[in-house]
Amino acid sequence: MRLGRTDKSVGDLQILPDEDVLRCCASGDQQALRELTRRYQAPIFRFLYRMSGSREDAEEAAMDVFTKAWQHAGRFQYRAKVSTWLYRIAANLARDAHSRKMARPQEAWPDERQLERGSLGSAETDALNTLEREDQARQIREAIDQLNESDRMLIVLYYLEERDYEEMQAITGVSYTVLKTRLARARQRLKAKLEDGYKRTVP
């Protein structure tokens, strides 16, 4: 690929902090966008997948996140972390997608078996029987899917994506007190949904 005069080499970019990579994006450096995508495509895709339950939708939305980042890089104020900004864009897209989905007939969460082989991670989960694990994961997915969109976003960001309070506040745009209250409520609702699910499977 032919690089512009201002484009940095891939090696240069890899050692730069996120902020400088974004500054290069703002100047039109496509290799910088490639580097930003390399750093954040996995967490952003995962977040969007957890919000939508659809690999295809998550992939499309993740593309939109990085397209928006490319378009708006020059307007970033460097007050928030770059990762927070990307999550914020993703959260807005997830909300929009959710509103559109609500207008369509409900789709069930995909069966975990539809996920790619070899995608399973930690030692803990590997130790479990595959079927049992898929069953458990499906139950939890169903419970999360039954939450309202706002509760689901908080649970996914905080407990699965491991964003801290400050980032959560920047991504969702609410104060500490409001966030604390909503998170507690989301936790209680998820707990109730999970208990319902277990009651149904263990009569």
Partner 1 sequence: MNCRDLEKNSAAWLQGRRPELAESIAEHTGKCSRCALLLREEKALLESLAPLRAEPTAPDLWPDLYERIRTTTPHRAATRPWYAFALTGAVAAALAFVSLRPQEPVRELTLAPEDEVRIVRMAADVLPAPDPADDAGYEGMRATRSARQAILIGYAGDGE
Contact residues toward partner 1 (CB under 8 A) are: 1, 26-28, 30, 33-34, 37-38, 41-42, 45-46, 49-50, 55, 59, 62-63, 66-80, 84-85, 88-89, 92, 112, 115-116, 118-122, 124-125, 128, 133, 136-137, 140-141, 144, 158-160, 162, 164-165, 170, 173, 180, 187, 190-191, 194
For residue 64, what are the contacts with CB-CB under 8 A and spacing of at least 6?
A: 93
CB 117 within 8 A of CB 193: no
Q: Least distance from C-beta 188 to partner 1, angstroms?
A: 8
Looking at the Cβ atoms of 72 and 101, the one nearer to partner 1 is 72
Looking at the Cβ atoms of 105 and 112, the one nearer to partner 1 is 112
Q: Least distance from C-beta 199 to partner 1, angstroms?
A: 14
Looking at the Cβ atoms of 74 and 107, the one nearer to partner 1 is 74
Looking at the Cβ atoms of 56 and 148, the one nearer to partner 1 is 56
Looking at the Cβ atoms of 148 and 198, the one nearer to partner 1 is 198
Query: Could you tell me which of 109, 117, 113, 101 has the C-alpha nearest to residue 143?
Result: 109
Q: Least distance from C-beta 184 to partner 1, angstroms?
A: 8
Looking at the Cβ atoms of 11 and 105, the one nearer to partner 1 is 11
Residue 144 structure tokens: 């999360």
Query: Could you tell me which of 18, 21, 19 has the C-alpha nearest to residue 8?
Result: 21
CB 171 within 8 A of CB 157: yes
The CA distance from 180 to 139, in Å, is: 26
Tell me the Cα Rg of the chain.
19
Q: Least distance from C-beta 123 to partner 1, angstroms?
A: 11
How many alpha carbons lie under 13 Å from residue 112 in its C-beta half-sphere? 16
Query: Could you tell me which of 151, 150, 179, 149 has the C-alpha nearest to residue 164?
Result: 179
CB 89 within 8 A of CB 68: yes
Q: Least distance from C-beta 134 to partner 1, angstroms?
A: 8
Q: Least distance from C-beta 153 to partner 1, angstroms?
A: 14
